[in-house]
Amino acid sequence: MFVFVALSSCFEVIAQAQVSMPVVYHLHNGLDKQEVHSGVQYIEDVSRTLTFAAVSSASQTAWKTYSKDHSISFGFTQSPYWFRFAVRNTTSPNYNNWLFEIAFPPLDSIDVYVPQSNSTMRIFHLGDHVPFHEREIRFRTFVVPLQLPDSTPQTVYLRVHTTSSFNLPMTLYKREAFIETSIASLLVFGIFIGVVIVLTLYNLLPFFISREQIYLRYLVYMFGAVLFILTYNGITAEYIFPQSGFLLQYATLFSVGVVCLGLTLLLQEFLQTKNFPRLHRMLNGVVLYWIATMMAGLFFDYLTVNMMQALAMVPCFILFAFISFRVQKKSNSKNEYFLFVNLAFYGALISGLITMFTNIGVINNSALTRSSTQISILFDGIMFSLALAQRFQRLRQDKIAAQDETLRLQRDQNIILQTAVEERTAELQQRQMMLEHQAIEIGVINSQLQEQNITLSELNTEKNELMGIVAHDLKNPIGAVRSFAELMQDGFIPHEEVPHISRKIVNTSDRMLDLVTNLLDINRLESGAAQFTIVQIDVKPILNMIVAGYHSQATAKNITLHFSTETSETRVFADEQAVQQVFDNIISNAVKYSPHGKNVVVRIKTSGDAVRVEVQDEGQGISEEDMKKLFGKFARLSARPTGGEHSTGLGLSIVKKMVEAMNGRVWCESEVGDGLPTGATFIVELPATTIP
């Protein structure tokens, strides 16, 4: 859009401006384009009241000269700026098809004053607040024609005002050179859009197959990235919001918010941060922040919201890198796709740094920096796509492996059952032939068969439970130990972390050893192979030693252990080693299931002709339903250890069998408050003896 303005004494004003200009940009035959930055003079219009007449007649002292050798950048500012520079056309023969481009589409308002041969100024009104069809040259950036008929220096004036970052990359082009540059940039942009479309379609197929939300999160990120690139390069103004105004301006805030929102959601899903509640809550806070900035852009000052987004990008990306490092370190994950995820996030961090420093004026707003964001988004899209492909392949392999394992177990089970059925059928046929004429004995045999079937069913159930424990409680620790050993063998573990990994291997081995020991103990007790040496022993020093042994474990959970003796008679008839194992198990459970900051009390009393030991905790208590299966094998109760400790479900079963083998008894009492369990007391009574 333009208008002709007649100015009185125009030649005198222009002459005055030319005298004061430190640099004149010469347009000659060998020049295709000329960047305009160093030597441009400017005035900051803090009051927003300066007119063209005022600035064109202003004294030289009012003007400042931009001396940096890159495009003009003032960061975030609310002030309009006036600029001027001189152009001299020395082409021979006279070439009069020069174009002046401002290659930063987010600028709000631009007035360009171009001198004409009839002593007037031609004003071009540009900016993203001006409808696209009103531009003199309808192009995605701001372009105006320069008609310079003779070699006399002509002064061009600009007034620029924006609520986005103030970047002013200006270039003078020959029309042919501008067309060639535009075609090349559109070709690159077309390749970018094509790759984005391919990536989008490529990741839609796995989504329709698996219905996993991570692919939708990826598409959210890509949508925001493409919208940002379109807006940042002026495509949105040309094709989506040609009327410009608020929607075009808000598109920038919205696209930046969607990019960061999608990036955060992708991070949560890739790293499975739900397994790390504190880190997951931090990322939820980031999600809420970006949603809030997008909403704020609808109601509050654009410049303020723009600064909030620009200044938050880098801290957010640094937080992403930190969380990614922490999660991968804690989980000791060796997933192949983490390489691509890390590359994508570090690429986003570099892009965020370039964008932020460009917006605040630290880095030059050049074609390279403007393209870096586009290149980074394309790189991130490819990296995330590769990560998704690796993740999809890994999940598919795990699924196939799980299906194969299930089929193998089913086949093995079927073979075992078929063999048992065949053997049992042969036995039944033989008995049927032998007892064919004995009807009464057949009834007896049928009864016996029913009892045996029940026994087989119980044994089969117990076998399945045992297989489940071996598969779950031994397979995982063995796998973990093997993984740690491979890492140490292959040299992936830094020297300083070897003691830490070694402790993990020892702890994991202890868990497996405890499980095997408990299985052997329960087998010896049930088969009658366990031997008990019943002698007179004093339980007080034994309990004192066990309580002292759990002091450090209790201190780690801020649990206070209390030990008291309310009787002088503490000697019993029992097996010393079995007594140690019984009370070690009970006190261990009390510490294991007690919340932080509670108390565990161990008391010795007398009860008739028995010595009673009570172990009382302030934990979760035991419900009536759990009480029924408390001392059973492989018992899995609703209560869970409060510090992530491990439980095999065999300890209390061993305790009961050992206590009963020593002619004692054991039971549990659980307090109830307001209908909910609030604690449990395990009581063991052993036959007392008189101290000699």
pLDDT at 288 over 90: yes
As to burial, measured by CB atoms within 10 angstroms (0-12 exposed, 13-18 middle, 19+ buried), residue 648 is: buried
More confident residue, 495 or 154: 154
DSSP state of 594: S
On whether the CB atoms of residues 604 and 688 are closer than 8 A, the answer is no
Residue 260 is predicted with a pLDDT of 86
- Above 70 in pLDDT, residue 360? no
For position 7, what pLDDT does the model report? 32
Which residue type, as a one-letter code, is found at position 524? R
Task: Say if residue 517's pLDDT is above 50.
Answer: yes
Report, as an integer, the average pLDDT of 639-656.
70
- What's the rounded Cα separation, in Å, for the pair 358 and 364? 6
User: How far apart are the C-alpha atoms of 322 and 335, rounded to whole Å?
Assistant: 18
Tokens of residue 71, six digits: 């495009």
CA 297 – CA 320 distance, rounded (Å): 24
φ, ψ for residue 372, nearest 5 deg: -60, -40
Least confident of 61-70, 131-140, 175-184, 332-341: 332-341
Gyration radius from the chain CA atoms: 41
User: Which of 69-83, 279-293, 466-480 is the least confident region?
Assistant: 466-480
The whole-angstrom separation of Cα 587 and Cα 651 is 11
Could you tell me which residues come within 8 angstroms of residue 112 by beta carbon, excluding any fewer than 6 positions away?
A: 100, 123, 124, 126, 144, 156, 157, 158
Q: Is the pLDDT of residue 459 over 80?
A: no
Of 105, 51, 49, 108, nearest in space to 77 by CA? 108
3-state secondary structure 266-284: HHHHHHCHHHCHHHHHHHH
pLDDT of residue 521: 59
Instruction: Output the pLDDT for position 334.
Output: 58
What is residue 131's predicted lDDT score, i.e. its pLDDT?
87
Higher per-residue confidence, 390 vs 255: 255
The pLDDT of residue 16: 39
How many whole angstroms separate alpha carbon 313 and alpha carbon 117?
49
**Half-sphere exposure for 273 (CA within 13 Å, toward CB):** 21
Higher-pLDDT residue of 464 and 532 is 532
Report whether pLDDT(508) > 90. no
Report residue 222 as tokens. Answer: 């890509």
Residues 6+ apart with CB under 8 A from 273: 267, 279, 280, 283, 323, 327
Per-residue pLDDT, averaged over 653-668, amounts to 86
Per-residue pLDDT band for 10 (boundaries 50, 70, 90) equals: very low
What is the predicted pLDDT for the residue at 677? Answer: 52
Pairing, β 154-161 against β 166-168 = unpaired
Whole-angstrom Cα distance, residue 281 to residue 285? 6
CATH of domain 535-687: 3.30.565.10
Is residue 229 scored above 70 in pLDDT? Answer: yes
* Res 527: pLDDT: 59
Phi, psi of 83 (to 5 degrees): -130, 155
Fold of 435-527: Helix Hairpins (1.10.287)
Q: Are the beta carbons of 574 and 662 closer than 8 angstroms?
A: yes
Tell me, what's the pLDDT at 377?
73
**Contact of 226 with 196, CB cutoff 8 Å:** yes
pLDDT number for residue 469: 59
Between the ranges 92-96, 170-174, 326-330, where is the mean pLDDT highest? 170-174
DSSP string of 440-501, one letter each residue: HHHHHHHHHHHHHHHHHHHHHHHHHHHHHHIIIIIHHHHHHHHHHHHHHHHT-S-GGGHHHH
More confident residue, 491 or 541: 541
What pLDDT shows up at residue 41?
92
DSSP letter at 614 equals E
The secondary structure of 521-555 as a DSSP string is HHHHHHHT------EEEEHHHHHHHHHHHTHHHHH
User: CATH for 2-180, among 3.40.50.300, 1.10.10.10, 2.60.40.2380, 3.40.605.10?
Assistant: 2.60.40.2380
Over range 91-105, report the average pLDDT. Answer: 84
Instruction: Please compute the mean of the pLDDT values over residues 643-650 and round it to a whole number.
Output: 62
Structure tokens at 455: 């026994």
What confidence tier does 692 reach under pLDDT thresholds 50, 70, 90?
A: very low
Distance CA 387, CA 279 (A): 21
Q: Where are the domains of the chain?
A: 2-180, 212-399, 435-527, 535-687
Q: Give me the sheet containing 599-607, strands edge to edge.
A: 560-565, 599-607, 610-617, 676-687, 665-673
Q: Can you tell me the mean pLDDT for 400-405?
A: 80
pLDDT band at 397 (very low <50, low <70, confident <90, very high): confident
User: Can you give the pLDDT at residue 152?
Assistant: 81
Per-residue pLDDT at 19: 40
pLDDT class of 523 with cuts at 50, 70, 90: low
Q: pLDDT of 343-353, one tens digit each?
A: 777 776 677 67
Q: What is the mean pLDDT of the chain?
A: 78
* pLDDT given for residue 160 in this prediction: 94
Query: From CA 108, how far away is CA 163, in angstroms rounded?
Result: 7
Three-state secondary structure call for residue 559: coil
Q: What is the DSSP letter of 174?
A: E
Each residue's pLDDT tens digit, 577-624: 888 888 888 888 888 888 888 899 999 988 888 999 999 888 888 888
- Judged by DSSP in three states, 381 sits in helix
Cβ burial of 264 (10 Å; 0-12, 13-18, 19+) is buried
Check whether the bond before 494 is cis (ω within 30° of 0).
Answer: no
